[in-house]
Amino acid sequence: MDKAAAEFKSAEADFVWDTYQKVVNETDTQKGKIYFRRSGKKIQMGSDITAPAPKYVLYDGDKVQIYEPKIDQVTQYRTAKNRGDFETFLVLGFGGGGHELRNSFEVKFAGVENVDGIRAARLDLAPRSERARSMFSHILLWIDLTRGIAVRQQLLEPSGDYRDARYSNIRLNQDLPRDVFKLKTTSKTRVVTPQ
């Protein structure tokens, strides 16, 4: 992971995110493409969710923006105060090194498993900070043994809710489409900033 992190500039992957809510015993599935780009210490993330409804999510270090074309609205959240915590979770398995993981998590090796035809090391992460533990009781990562990046992530919340993310068709350090870190809004798009 450390070698992959040192060489990391960008990533593009297809994803399937399953979000489970225990209280209603339902799983919501989203599919699309995700993009990461690192320049120096700055990291950007963009996701183009195509199903079940189009949605674009952008992170640029200072804010997260979520654009929902169906209602033509951008909801933006300021992340500057919690930037470190946010990026810790954002880059899990994409550009973050093994030594960086140990700063934020207690890391346990849980064996080698096959994830969609890829041999992957399964890591069990327990957040060190109380604040992070209030969000996620623990996180499971499956790291491709060849490329040192995540092919699967499970973020488990204390409530029993979780998000299971699977990544495929991963392309590293290649040119990304120019517009993936821009929202495709209209002239009538409404911008909302919750308090």
Q: For the residues 179-192, what does the mean pLDDT come to?
A: 93
Put simply, whether the predicted model's pTM sits higher than 0.75 gets the answer yes
Under 8 Å between Cβ of 33 and 48: yes
pLDDT at residue 152 in the model: 96
Query: What residue segments make up the domains of the chain, in order of their start?
Result: 5-175
Q: Which amino acid is at 168?
A: S
Q: Could you read off the pLDDT of 57-88 as tens digits, one per residue? A: 998 878 899 999 999 999 998 876 766 666 66
List Cα–Cα distances, 72 to 20, 23, 52, 189, in angstroms: 27, 30, 16, 5
Residue pLDDT, tens place only, 2-59: 777 788 899 999 999 999 999 999 999 999 999 999 887 788 899 999 999 999 999 8
Sheet holding 55-59, edge to edge: 105-115, 118-127, 138-144, 150-156, 162-172, 10-21, 26-39, 42-51, 55-59, 63-68, 73-78, 190-192
Q: Say which CATH architecture domain 5-175 belongs to.
A: Clam (2.50)
